[in-house]
Amino acid sequence: MEDKMLYTLTDVAAALSVGRSKVYELVRCGALPSVRIGGSRWVRGEDLATYVDSLELVPAARLAGAR
């Protein structure tokens, strides 16, 4: 992604390759901080990076065993 200061929830969904409803869920439960400007909700670039960095890495062996 570009180094923008703020991302729309649609931008975040595209960046994470998830649906908008998942992004709304992450915001609602507090896993992904957001700010409100006027009637729109935005995610700060640094908060998006922090969220991604906090995700658990899943070893390939674990993925193979899940089948």
The CATH class of the 6-54 domain is mainly alpha
Instruction: State the alpha helices, DSSP H only, in 1-67.
Output: 9-16, 20-28, 45-54, 60-65
Task: Give the type of residue at 49.
Answer: A
Provide the residue ranges of all domains of the chain, joining segments of one domain with +. Answer: 6-54
pLDDT digit string, tens, across residues 12-66: 999 999 999 999 999 999 999 999 999 999 999 999 999 999 998 888 777 676 6
Residue 67 has pLDDT above 60, yes or no: no
Q: What is the pLDDT of residue 23?
A: 98
Residues whose CB falls within 8 Å of the CB of residue 22, separated by 6 or more in sequence, listed in order: 13, 16
Q: What is the CA radius of gyration of the chain?
A: 14
Residues whose CB falls within 8 Å of the CB of residue 39, separated by 6 or more in sequence, listed in order: none
pLDDT digit string, tens, across residues 2-21: 689 999 999 999 999 999 99
